[in-house]
Structure 1
């Protein structure tokens, strides 16, 4: 198993160029076809209609967005030439979230960025990353809005609670796991209302991974209040020196709303290393 088709979402933020670098690096490593989907927030013209003199301002916003798009496209094609990869450039003029999901469903891996509260250009639509996790049907690799990760996936922490989501994440991450130099399995907290002995132990999934030549270390279970599971997971990742967290994305999507589990919300907000999520 490998990632042979990768989709990366790009926007007008400062961090987009680095996210493209990560995508090119991973596409080269896995010999994958790379699709870059440029989808940035472009305000509706009517939002400026009531403001005197706003027409010029709106044109400036459009021009800046287009300039950023063209700059990233040049970097994308230069990267393909440099690495010898195949790829496609897609510019989503409208319905950015739907366009990324559409292309993501035809890929083995989707790469997107963490929302940065200090950079409004990372905002695409409400709950953008959360919606990708819940609706794309593919593993989502989220890159933090700060930090550099040259060896992403070389040291992996797997959050294991034997749920469907965790199971999906482990198997979706196999291309990373089979090549990682360090894999640590950890269970954090208890599932509310679970019966004693009902959870599949880390040792069992470690045995399955061993059949894929993945040498995983089983860490000690960490007991913590439910509200602190996400924080405890991030702390464990720091403790083992991980540069990638693999975890299930918990929650569900419903009409005009994404409802996430506490741990998923915490990690999406406070992540400091890349996170691979599957739902």
Structure 2
């Protein structure tokens, strides 16, 4: 089982080069075809803005986006040629929260970038990453904006809580898991008051993954009062030497706003290694 068709989201952010290198690494590892889709923030044209801003402003903004697009296409095509990876380039000027999930549904794996609040070009659309993960129906590998990742999936930390989302993430990540040197199935034991039904424990999912040939170990700890489960997961993943985390993404839509679980929010905000998320 491998990923044959990978989609990477391209934009004009400062972290783009690291994301492309991560996508090239994963594509090379699985001998997959890599498609780059350039899709950036598209400002709405409101009547008031047309009155208060001269036409030259909108023209300059469009020219700048065109320059970004041309530069990213050149960079991406050169990267494909340099690595010998089969792939293609595409772009869309339609709203990202519509375009990216639709394109992602045709891919085996989607690679996108973490939002960086200090980089204005990192803003693609309201709740872009959250919307992509929750609506595309495919696993999304989110690459942090800070750091470089020469290896992804050598040591994998699986965040396990027995849920549907966690199970989906584990099975979506199997191509990584069977090739990893070590897979750590990490569970945070809930208190008796938090348990509303028996759950599949870490040893059971570890056995299921091991049947595919993965090298799996189990780590279970009790929750810690002074640290959130999200931060505890990040801390233990670092202790394991993990270069990748696999986890379910928890959330739902209410009207026009997405509501995410606490661990999901923490990881999306504070991730230190690439995280494969499924919903």
Q: TM-score, normalised by structure 1?
A: 0.94
In structure 2, C-alpha distance between the alignment counterparts of 1:257 and 1:75, rounded to whole Å: 35
Verify: 1:164 aligned to 2:151, yes or no. Answer: no
Cα deviation digits, residues 151-183 of structure 1 (max 9, x gap): 011111110011000000011111111111121
Distance 1:226 1:247, change over 3 A: farther
**Would the aligned equivalents of 1:243 and 1:274 in 2 still touch at CA under 8 Å?**
yes
**Would the aligned equivalents of 1:114 and 1:144 in 2 still touch at CA under 8 Å?**
yes
**Would the aligned equivalents of 1:188 and 1:224 in 2 still touch at CA under 8 Å?**
no
Distance 1:225 1:164, change over 3 A: farther
2:241: which partner in 1?
241
1:204: which partner in 2?
204
In structure 1, C-alpha distance between the alignment counterparts of 2:138 and 2:189, rounded to whole Å: 26
Moved more, 98-107 or 84-93: 84-93
> What secondary structure is seen at the aligned counterpart in 1 of 2:51?
coil
Query: Displacement of 1:226 after TM fit?
Result: 10
Unpaired segments of 5 or more residues in structure 1? Answer: none
In structure 2, C-alpha distance between the alignment counterparts of 1:222 and 1:276, rounded to whole Å: 24
**Would the aligned equivalents of 2:144 and 2:272 in 1 still touch at CA under 8 Å?**
yes
2:36: which partner in 1?
36
In structure 2, C-alpha distance between the alignment counterparts of 1:224 and 1:107, rounded to whole Å: 38
**Would the aligned equivalents of 1:189 and 1:224 in 2 still touch at CA under 8 Å?**
no
Cα deviation digits, residues 37-77 of structure 1 (max 9, x gap): 1111132343632325x432332222222111111111221
The Cα RMSD (Å) is 1.8
Equivalent pairs, count: 277
Distance 1:124 1:226, change over 3 A: farther
1:50: which partner in 2?
51
> What secondary structure is seen at the aligned counterpart in 2 of 1:219?
strand
Verify: 1:122 aligned to 2:122, yes or no. Answer: yes
1:63: which partner in 2?
63
Unpaired segments of 5 or more residues in structure 2? Answer: none
> What secondary structure is seen at the aligned counterpart in 1 of 2:66?
helix
